[in-house]
Structure 1
Amino acid sequence: METVFEHKPDFRFRDFVIEKAVALPTEQFEKMLHRPMDDQAFLSENAELMRQDGNGVYHCLLVTGEGRSDGLLVESEGCSYARYAAYVPQAASLRYPALADMNQRLADAVDFIIRDGTSQTSEGNWLLNFWELKKHAGIDVECEPFLQELLGDMLCSRPEVADLTIEDEVFDVTYYLDYCPNCKQEPEAPAFELKQ
């Protein structure tokens, strides 16, 4: 995995509004990522859309690259370069707020399944019915095979999960015992050497 580290980081969050989304050819977007201070014609063409208003809200362009999931929020303040910019790893979630909401709901559901199972199992296995998931996490996956598979993939990417089966409206999860506080692991028997 990679990220950007800044010499003098500023982690104050700021409110923003996306005034327009601009999709660049992949090569142009990658150049902009590496050299955001270079002049960009599309920033000059859209300069009137970008500003900071009297309430401190940044009015931005969402700049993405074709075939890429990441993007940049840019407020050029009248300039032809990215005077103020923020890197966005999953830019599609900004363009589609419903997608961001669903992502959060799915992540919360996975966290619930993991917390529920690891805290209650005494042998490493735990069953969770679809209706229990709906009751506790607010996600209805009954008759939704895509959501079932998506949650399954998310669960299997967690370090706590050793195995998963989804059938008969049940998530059957096997957890690694190290993550289950109620599981008593048998200590390994000491190895004895035979003396001759």
Structure 2
Amino acid sequence: MLITKAIFERKISEFDIQNCIIEGIELMNEDEFEDFSKNLLDDKDFIKNRKEEMYIDEEGLVHGLLALNMDSGDGILIDSQGFDYARYTAFLPSIKSYIDNHISMVVDKIIEEATENSSNGSWVIYFDEIEENHGLIIKENNGIGTMLLKELENREEIAELEIGDDCFDMMFYSEHLSIIDDEIEQNIKM
């Protein structure tokens, strides 16, 4: 039996689907998400503090803040239009698996680039590079960085990982490097 959640519209000729960009994610547990989803018109500090992440750009793309239930995986995309409550919303069932998959693919590409181009195992990737090359917007406390960091921490190739103000600073195990410095290679042989 396949069970999901949906919002049904009565007698519509087509869905009014809009392209959206998730600018940030508010990570919530089951109770927090349930409280939010049952009180969508209440002012919320997390919306008030992140209004700049919600807007419609010159091309008509909706930029929104995703309230994400980390337990169930469901989400509510928000465009507050400058207000402190969820003025416009879209329910996104099981969106977490999509986000997890996207973040995993980005981490795969980061690791591939680092291990193919670092000869000493040290690699730094800046948040603006991640946005430019992979489309993930990382800002302080926007949730996307938190999820990306967690995925990086779970990778066996990475020996050390530090997060800076504007970057991830990584050290890779030498056995995962394509090119190895002569000095490192000599230490391995000893």
Higher relative contact order at CA 8 Å, sep ≥6: structure 1 or structure 2?
A: 2
State which structure, 1 or 2, has the greater radius of gyration over its C-alpha atoms: 1
TM range (shorter): 0.3 to 0.5
TM-score, length-scaled by structure 1: 0.47
